[in-house]
Amino acid sequence: MEKSLNFEAALAALVADIRACRICVETPQGAPLHHEPRPVLRVSASAKLLIAGQAPGTRVHASGKPFTDPSGDRLRAWMGISEEVFYDSGRIAIVPMGLCFPGLDARKADLPPRLECRRAWHDRIMAALPAIETILVIGNYARDYHFQRLGLQNHRKSSLTEVVKNWRDYASSAPRIIPLPHPSWRNSGWLKKNPWFEADVLPVLRAEVARLTR
């Protein structure tokens, strides 16, 4: 019990530091963030499942709550869980590679996650999440970071399709990795071209989510 309380206290202090972070504005790597930082994450020392995504979008930046958009609806459907379970940080941690909305490019598409986030915070966050057994890796930035961290570098340059299709290759890592395509509705074409994802991967995903959140 004392060890658990120590982890929670250390994590709470870390989250407080993250909430106050202004690195991307005051000491940026490249161009500074053009809006006020609003880090978005949900963590607990007791969470067994981690969702590692890319970065908040405009809707999540406005709400301050991860996956409050159609992508979140699809992700929860893939996982087979309710919003209540999804947002229970005692069971599920949510840590995107960019903790703040990175802004939009000239085509109104989201910019890549800020490098400052990963370098300043992610190793510390992962060290403060001792109970994580499985990581749902969404997108190339999360994939590259967690694959390197867990010694899966040989798979980093594989295509999204190959990585997701070969999900069994990562089942023995610790924590276990389940790679996913981004749940954006822009990926509907990919899902239609790859029906094996729904047939083969989603049952495994739902079983793992159920096991870790019951």
Burial of residue 51 (CB within 10 Å: 0-12, 13-18, 19+) is buried
| Residue-level pLDDT at 172 | 87
Maximum CA extent, the chain: 51
| Residue-level pLDDT at 10 | 92
| Residue-level pLDDT at 5 | 66
Q: What is the mean pLDDT of each run of 10 residues along the chain (214 residues)?
A: 72 97 94 95 97 95 95 97 98 97 91 93 96 96 93 76 92 93 92 96 98 96
| Residue-level pLDDT at 7 | 80
| Residue-level pLDDT at 1 | 53
Residue-wise pLDDT tens digits, 96-135? 999 999 999 999 889 999 999 999 999 999 999 999 999 9
Long-range contacts, 108-113 (Cβ 8 Å, 24+): 110/54, 110/55, 110/57, 112/55, 112/141, 113/54, 113/55, 113/141
Amino acid at position 208, single letter: E
The partner residues of 177 in beta bridges, in order of sequence, read 135
Output the domain CATH number for residue 201: 3.40.470.10
Amino acid at position 201, single letter: V
Spacing of C-alpha 146 from chain mean position = 10
Residue with tokens 């982890």: 7
| Residue-level pLDDT at 153 | 72
| Residue-level pLDDT at 150 | 92
Range of the domain at 178: 2-213
List the Cα angle 67/118/115 in 5-degree steps: 95
Domain count, the chain: 1
| Residue-level pLDDT at 195 | 97
Helical segments of the chain, H only: 2-19, 23-26, 58-63, 70-79, 83-86, 115-117, 123-127, 140-149, 160-165, 188-193, 196, 202-213
* Residue 121 vs residues 19, 104, 106, 188: alpha-carbon distances, Å: 11, 23, 28, 32
- Asked if residues 129 and 175 have their Cβ atoms less than 8 Å apart, the reply is no
Q: How many CB atoms are located within 10 Å of the residue 170 CB?
A: 21
Report helix, strand or coil for 75: helix
